Structure 1
Amino acid sequence: MRRRPTLRERLFTQPRRFGFDAAIGLLLRIARKADPAAAVRFRSPAGLAFPPADIPTLHDGGEAPARATTSVMGLTGPAGVLPRRYSESVIATRRDRSHALHDFLDMLSHRLVALFARAGMKYRPARSAAVSALAHPSRTDPVEGALLAFAGYPTPQMADRVSGGRNSMLFYSGFFSAHPRSAERLESLLSDWLGQAVRVEQFAGAWLLLRREDRTRLAQGLLPGPWSRLGVDAAIGT
């Protein structure tokens, strides 16, 4: 039986199947870094043809940062901001087996691409919270605090008391914050949590044993009958 490749293996063997933001998010998790500049070294394509993907090539650096060739932006290449002659000079020098100019320009553009990657995560709450947890595991991210508040837990300490844990409350905060809370949402939450299909039976009747003084009675003379308001507190049965 063939073993299915892990997400890390798929990323490094088939980087073209990943978008720029998705690939950067995975590389940050793999490297346990919060700064894209520290997790991966960005390079520009050594040519003028547009690559078929955001990251056409990706190499595992082992203990060193991974090396990614990206067509999203850079100083040279098809998406380069410098005049075309700089890209042509890079092609010419590489043809002469000299990588000095290409490496120098990539050294300058590396930080620019890293800042672009950070900007892409800034306005994605889920990814921003995950990256913040890598940098400061003991600190509560503002996005995380807001999601916990939506779920009814304004402080992380309150969420930690739940048997499911804080991460579960964060994941299902959308269900807890929605009003009104419907049976369909409860079914979805329980099915996902238990890993089995769950069906909620609504308005299921049940028999309750009421004490004599709690039973509905009609009025007698001038005395009002207790528990006799329909739709409020009246009960059927004896």
Structure 2
Amino acid sequence: MLGFLKALLTGKRNEEEGRMFVIVGLGNPEKKYFGTRHNVGFATIDALSDKYNIGLTETKFKAVYGKGRIGSERVILVKPLTYMNLSGEAVAPICNYFKVDTKSDLIVISDDVELDAGRIRVRPKGSAGGHNGLKNIIAQLGHDEFSRVRVGVGKKPKEWDMVDWVLGHFEGEDATAIKEGIEDATEAVLDIIENGPDSAMNKFNGKK
């Protein structure tokens, strides 16, 4: 009875209690950023949404999100609407509201300019590595001990400005490679959920 009353007061159903993974893809919300290198996190969330039939139908916490299942676990797929540099302003509130343990049940997907297009790298924790979205999430959470899947978007050519590079679109072989990379990223998320980040690191970090 107490649990039922608590659910009524918080607006949550009993089925929402217990373990839940929050999976966040980083990007910028305007249509003009669709398909850019900086938005591969969004693209991976869209791929997960399609693959597991999880509609992104709710807008709250400065984010658009949807609840469903991946494998045997309940998940929330999240795309922050804050723009990249303020991603933590969406991630922290949604994790707090759903009482998610951000050190074990948060997975963040982002782009990586140090990896070839389509390569992915899984990490159980670590620094932002110069990525402003990750930097803001770390600042808002107060720690860097959350899992992340970094999707390679290709190294910036010397003649390019970094902002122009990450906000540019994939072309040629990179456009093909990134599709495979996004698929690998969805598989890595499943592996993290079912087996932990170490398993996903062993399977995907050396994959070409």
The interval holding the TM-score normalised by the smaller chain is: under 0.3
Bigger Rg, which one: 1
TM-score (norm 1): 0.22
Higher relative contact order (CA 8 A, sep 6+): 2
TM-score (norm 2): 0.25
Q: Which has the higher strand share?
A: 2
